[in-house]
A and B are shown apart, each in its own frame.
Chain A
Amino acid sequence: MKKNMSFEEPIIKLREKIQELKEFTETNEVDLSEEIRNLNNRLIKLENDIYGNMETWERVQVARHPERPTTYDYIGELFEDFIELHGDRAFGDDAAIVGGIGSFEGEPVTIIGHQRGKDTKENVKRTFGMPHPEGYRKALRLMKQAEKFGRPIICMIDTKGAYPGRAAEERGQSEAIARNLVEMASLTVPVISIVIGEGGSGGALALGVANRIYMLEHSTYSVISPEGAASILWKDSAYSKEAAEAMKITAPHLLKMDVIDEIIPEVLGGGHRDPKQQAKNMKTVLTKALSELSKLDADRLVQDRYDKFRKIGVFSE
């Protein structure tokens, strides 16, 4: 996938032009500072116009940007003393879900997240962040471990969906996801989930039965990928853009539908443009959520999670 997204072409061009002028002034004895200042002002306006008014499909592109920060990136920024813990103790270690323990502002926490690769080789190893059953079972093992030691659990959701493959089916992909949904319901510690990229179907939800659910501003959360929806509803995956719009998968849509608690603002143009700042934005929200949830005892945490999901749905009676 291209690093530059088509909708940001005008911004890229303007940036290049400013760069050219800067280089020109360095090698030639001319003062273009006035022009450069004007162009910089134009750039700021253009960025605000384009990045500030992203359509659904543009957000999908940002959510899928090859340089978009992943779970590992945020772990590095947000937690101290992180130690990765591997394996489901039954079959193997799925690299599409990573997890471990670390500390957040001095308090021990368990961190679990989908992990995409940043290049082809890593993506092959991590099956593009699409987990097998052992990934979900590892996640559940770490959640139960967190519960035993009274640690809050922070999940990062970033997957197109659970891996569609023969081995995954043979080892019980459905059961692994379903088990997480049921078991997460009764965890006696705070659970916080943040959708950091794509949140695709049951494969995403299996890390999402939380007390608080947040989405980064340009992340998506949906029952099926836009491509999948297009091929089912339009019988043609070329209609992904239309499908993405029709399925209402962006953070503002989910907030409106009361599925998520809050949108975490992104750095202008997307988290990949300043991962450190993006992590800071997340830190603010995490700090607040953990302090609120730490006031609830085990029963109230379970009840809170129950109430949260119990009310989701639109119908009349």
Chain B
Amino acid sequence: MLRDLFTNVKKQQAIMPNAKSKSDVPEGIMTKCPECKHVEPTKELGKLLKVCPKCDFHFKMTAQERIDSLMDEGTFVSMDDHLVTENPLEFPAYTAKVKKDAEKTGLNEAVLTGTGKIGGNEVAIAIMDAHFRMGSMGSVVGEKITRAVEKATELGIPLLIFSASGGARMQEGVLSLMQMAKTSVALNRHSEKGLLYISIMTYPTTGGVSASFASVGDINLAEPKALIGFAGRRVIEQTVREKLPEDFQTAEFLLAHGQLDAVVHRVDLQDVLSRIIRLHTKGEAAQ
């Protein structure tokens, strides 16, 4: 009898024109945490830096949200927004996909770069945006990051890179692979000048991005529970035929295995970054 009752409810809902929006969380106004299912007004969640107030789940941020949450107000100046992705391998539908994501995100590619201040100190910054083709790295992403690194080297200022990427972009083939080398040679120059590079790994930092600039910061930080790794979990499971631990390739897993300097909660990130930068400013550390 009880079962019938539920079935009826379901059926009734199914024929209602607005059934979906009524049964689910209204899109836009409320946001449901994929981890603990807690529902929070989207506006409130934004004030909480998109961290679930119940379970600390860190939602993905857009590059602009990062800027707003970290940089001293009004100091950020973006660079290289004019670079345009081409289709060097003539991959079907690639140009259209890039265009669509550009419209969706307001970015020219999967990374936003520029200069600005954090805690009063000038830095060059690159923030990858996973909403743009999963944050994958093709020629333009590699070029923008390289130019940001070169800017930091030229100005003699610290460099921050926020990674959020599924890895190299398949549609640009080996050119994407070579962006790993391109960004690396630029990072080497920045480092040789004795300048600070902080890498901040966020959900997700995998593949070619993980295996290049993201892993070689003077200081490597990550957000809680961020997925970080080289090979995909499924590929590894197929290779080794063993069940991988639940926390495999999480920030905490990497910390435990000596691959990270610290896991930093998003709420503390601005303060931690400011302090690290200050401690690398000679003669001003006491300020």
Q: Which residues of A contact B (CB under 8 A)?
A: 162-166, 168-175, 177-179, 181-183, 185-186, 201-202, 205-206, 208-209, 221-224, 228-229, 232-233, 246-249, 253-254, 257, 259, 305-306, 309-310, 312-317
- Given known contacts A174-B230, A249-B173, A314-B139, A309 and B178 CB-to-CB distance under 8 angstroms: yes
Q: Kindly state the separation between the CA atoms of A169 and B230 in the bound complex, as whole angstroms.
A: 7
Residues in B with CB closer than 8 Å to A169 are: 229-231, 236, 248-249
Pairwise interchain contact A181-B181, C-beta atoms closer than 8 A: yes
Q: List 21 A-B contacts (CB under 8 A).
A: A166-B242, A169-B229, A174-B211, A177-B215, A178-B184, A181-B181, A183-B188, A201-B168, A201-B208, A202-B211, A202-B230, A222-B173, A229-B170, A306-B189, A309-B182, A310-B146, A312-B181, A312-B182, A313-B142, A314-B175, A315-B86
Q: Kindly state the separation between the CA atoms of A317 and B85 in the bound complex, as whole angstroms.
A: 9
Q: Kindly state the separation between the CA atoms of A64 and B168 in the bound complex, as whole angstroms.
A: 24
Residue from B80, B89, B192, B244 in contact with A247 in the complex, judged by beta carbons closer than 8 Å: B89
Pairwise interchain contact A232-B179, C-beta atoms closer than 8 A: no
Which of A205, A223, A228, A314 has the most chain B CB atoms inside 10 A of its CB? A223
Q: Does B176 touch A at the CB level, under 8 Å?
A: yes
Pairwise interchain contact B180-A202, C-beta atoms closer than 8 A: yes
Q: Which residue in chain B gives the minimum CB-CB distance to A313?
A: B139
Residues in A with CB closer than 8 Å to B228 are: 174
Q: Kindly state the separation between the CA atoms of A232 and B248 in the bound complex, as whole angstroms.
A: 22
Pairwise interchain contact B235-A174, C-beta atoms closer than 8 A: no
Q: Kindly state the separation between the CA atoms of A249 and B231 in the bound complex, as whole angstroms.
A: 21
Q: Kindly state the separation between the CA atoms of A223 and B142 in the bound complex, as whole angstroms.
A: 14
The minimal Cβ–Cβ distance linking A174 to chain B, given in whole angstroms, is: 4
Residues in B with CB closer than 8 Å to A306 are: 185-186, 189
Q: Kindly state the separation between the CA atoms of A199 and B36 in the bound complex, as whole angstroms.
A: 43
Residues in B with CB closer than 8 Å to A229 are: 170
Residues in A with CB closer than 8 Å to B192 are: 186
Interface majority SS on B: helix, strand, loop or mixed?
helix
Interface majority SS on A: helix, strand, loop or mixed?
helix
The minimal Cβ–Cβ distance linking A39 to chain B, given in whole angstroms, is: 41
- Given known contacts A185-B188, A186-B188, A165 and B239 CB-to-CB distance under 8 angstroms: yes
Pairwise interchain contact B143-A315, C-beta atoms closer than 8 A: yes
Q: Which residue in chain B gives the minimum CB-CB distance to A307?
A: B185
- How many B residues are at the interface, by size bracket? 35 or more
Pairwise interchain contact A182-B187, C-beta atoms closer than 8 A: yes
Q: Which residue in chain B gives the minimum CB-CB distance to A170?
A: B257
The minimal Cβ–Cβ distance linking B101 to chain A, given in whole angstroms, is: 15
Q: Which 6 A-B pairs have the closest CB atoms?
A: A164-B231, A313-B139, A181-B184, A185-B188, A314-B88, A185-B185
Besides A202-B211, A248-B173, 12 more A-B contacts (Cβ < 8 Å) are: A164-B235, A169-B248, A178-B184, A178-B210, A181-B181, A186-B188, A201-B168, A223-B172, A223-B173, A306-B189, A315-B83, A315-B140
Q: Which residue in chain B gives the minimum CB-CB distance to A316?
A: B84
Residue from A165, A185, A248, A259 in contact with B89 in the complex, judged by beta carbons closer than 8 Å: A248
Q: Kindly state the separation between the CA atoms of A223 and B82 in the bound complex, as whole angstroms.
A: 26
Residues in B with CB closer than 8 Å to A257 are: 88, 174-175
- Name the interface residues of B98-128: CB closer than 8 Å to any CB of A: none
- Given known contacts A166-B244, A168-B231, A257-B88, A248 and B174 CB-to-CB distance under 8 angstroms: yes
Q: Mark B158-179, 1 if CB is under 8 A from A, else 0.
A: 0000000000101011111111
Q: Does B29 touch A at the CB level, under 8 Å?
A: no
Residues in B with CB closer than 8 Å to A228 are: 235
Q: Does B213 touch A at the CB level, under 8 Å?
A: yes
Pairwise interchain contact A222-B185, C-beta atoms closer than 8 A: no
- Given known contacts A174-B215, A315-B85, A316-B86, A205 and B181 CB-to-CB distance under 8 angstroms: yes
Q: Which residue in chain A gives the minimum CB-CB distance to B188?
A: A185
- Given known contacts A169-B248, A222-B173, A317-B84, A310 and B257 CB-to-CB distance under 8 angstroms: no
Pairwise interchain contact B185-A310, C-beta atoms closer than 8 A: yes
Residues in A with CB closer than 8 Å to B196 are: none
Q: Does B2 touch A at the CB level, under 8 Å?
A: no
